[in-house]
Structure 1
Amino acid sequence: MKISELKSNFKTTLSGLYPSEEIQSFFNILSEEYLNLSRIEVALHPEKTISTEDAEKFQEALLQLKNYKPIQYIIGETEFYGLPFKVNKHTLIPRPETEELVEWILSKQKLITILDIGTGTGCIAISLAKNLPNSKISALDISKEALKIAHQNAKLNKVEVEFFQADILKTKTLPKQYDVIVSNPPYVRELEKKQMQQNVLKYEPDSALFVKDEDPLLFYRAISQLAKTNLKANGKLFFEINEYLADELTQLLKSKGFQNIEVKKDIFGKDRMLKCSL
């Protein structure tokens, strides 16, 4: 089969399920993964013949894409803050909004000790470690399987991060004091599920995404309580947040004695990040 035929079949099969630009992006990603060909090379050599084995790989990917499996899970990796990250069903796929949170943290000075709570793939902790070589980065997660991936990602990106397992809702104390505590905890309410895409609902881990409608700030309450006793003087607490709950979270943090509360919008104009200090 020629690349041009493969591409035509690919687009026809997914037409109506995804926007055309996204289908093109999927094809480019799979071409690089399975054929080791860049987007430009694919465009320049449409008559290039591919093997039956490679065509079967595309066919398998097509079946998964038709069932809305995220492309990142199909190839087992993604990119975050310019770095490669392995992903699987036990980890959330890192989002562009979270890159903005990392950027915000990096804009601050004198970050020596940092703790990432609910690390997942390790994307926040590892990106910080890569860009702050003189800092000591720690990260925790409740999931053993997620921590396995995080360890792999730290090794892949050649950084040192201290990972440990903990259930933040049952943790009474943290190992040490930190200059920064950061978390992107579960914050999507059950009632918001109807706004979400099938690829998220069917494949990404519920426990890393959703909270009960009646107590959506559960994790923020627990983390801020720990931060009160585990942040150094002038330490900072950073959160990724639910765009609909910025005011409620601000009131919660004020009630716990936090000051200098700043809510920051993401590139889509949504309240997505918060920073505060004691």
Structure 2
Amino acid sequence: MSTFQELLSSWASKLSIYEKQEAESLVSWLLEHHLGWRRTQILDQVDEETFPTKLVEDFERLKTGEPIQYIMGKGPFYGREFIVSSATLIPRNETEELVHMIIKENPKAGLKILDIGTGTGCIPISLAFEMNNPEVFAVDISEEALEIAKKNRDVLNANVTFSTCDILAQTPDVSELDILVSNPPYIPEQEKTEMHRNVLDFEPELALFVSNEDPLIFYRTIAEKGKQLLKSGGKLYFEINEKYGKGVSQLMQDLGYSDVQILKDLNGKERIAKGLLSF
């Protein structure tokens, strides 16, 4: 027998790859998921012998570095829960900031939007709910990711059209867009050694990495195709690698986008690029 706090500290100490506070948060999340226990509850007597086998198995997975969102099959994003799998990236806070910016800057009704490289569908589904009656489309090269995105659309009852597209080889079958948004692969292969193993070992490489020789390939390609897809006055939004703000800004300007800005996230990292297409 132990108290809840003793259990929390004991289990968290076994997650040596995480900082103490993050480890305790992960354990708390797991206990709430399986047992309904919240950290705010006062539980003086906790008997680990009564824990369900699935909880113990999931904790063993957590110890390997597997992200808790994959273990539970879901993750939060912009006030909703999204199904996730090993075929999709885990929705992240910086992407929420991108979504929030798009919502705040575009109050007009009926805007036509395309998300490229949609993954879980968290960006287009959130925009479909939070904006004023938009027409929303999204594409991805991964059929497995699109299956997850469609499940999220159906579970949440969102109005989003998903389709397959290899953006490096194809052009999406939409036009006259008001907004084009993308969080494409942006981590050069050479940065793998700097990454936490819970990302490197579990999240899909297809959605993460680009070649060292041309790390801006997706930004360049999408910005070029944006000139065909966006209508005059349309806006292009990117989530970017903090190291390539100047490069992304320059290529957007070189391709004719105006009012190009590189913006910092809440952690002070250059994480969002945006520009306007006028012709």
Letter in 1 for 2:239: E
Unaligned runs of 5+ in 2: none
For residues 94-132 of structure 1, the C-alpha deviation after alignment (integer angstroms, 9 at most, x for no partner) is 111111100111111326110000000011111111101
For the 8 Å contact 1:174–1:226, the answer to whether it is kept is no
Letter in 1 for 2:43: H
2:43 equivalent to 1:45: yes
Counterparts of residues 194-205 of structure 1 (less than 5 Å): 194-205=193-204
2:100 equivalent to 1:98: no
Counterpart position of 2:181: 182
For the 8 Å contact 1:188–1:242, the answer to whether it is kept is yes
How far does residue 204 in structure 1 lie from its aligned partner after superposition?
0.3
How far does residue 59 in structure 1 lie from its aligned partner after superposition?
2.0
Whole-Å separation in 1 of the counterparts to 2:103 and 2:38: 32
**Normalised by the size of structure 2, how large is the TM-score?**
0.92
Counterparts of residues 178-257 of structure 1 (less than 5 Å): 178-257=177-256
Letter in 2 for 1:45: L
For the 8 Å contact 2:125–2:158, the answer to whether it is kept is yes
Whole-Å separation in 1 of the counterparts to 2:3 and 2:58: 16
Whole-Å separation in 1 of the counterparts to 2:67 and 2:267: 22
SS in 2 for 1:176: coil
For the 8 Å contact 2:7–2:46, the answer to whether it is kept is no
CA RMSD of aligned residues (A): 1.7
Counterparts of residues 118-137 of structure 1 (less than 5 Å): 118-137=117-136
Q: 1:158 to 1:39 in 2, by over 3 A?
A: farther
**Normalised by the size of structure 1, how large is the TM-score?**
0.93
Q: 1:88 to 1:259 in 2, by over 3 A?
A: same
How far does residue 37 in structure 1 lie from its aligned partner after superposition?
2.3
Letter in 2 for 1:101: L
Runs of at least 4 residues of structure 1 off by over 3 A?
1-9, 48-53
SS in 2 for 1:107: helix
Identity %: 44
Counterpart position of 1:164: 163
Counterpart position of 2:77: 80
For the 8 Å contact 1:98–1:240, the answer to whether it is kept is yes
SS in 2 for 1:23: helix
How far does residue 7 in structure 1 lie from its aligned partner after superposition?
3.5
SS in 2 for 1:172: coil
Unaligned runs of 5+ in 1: none
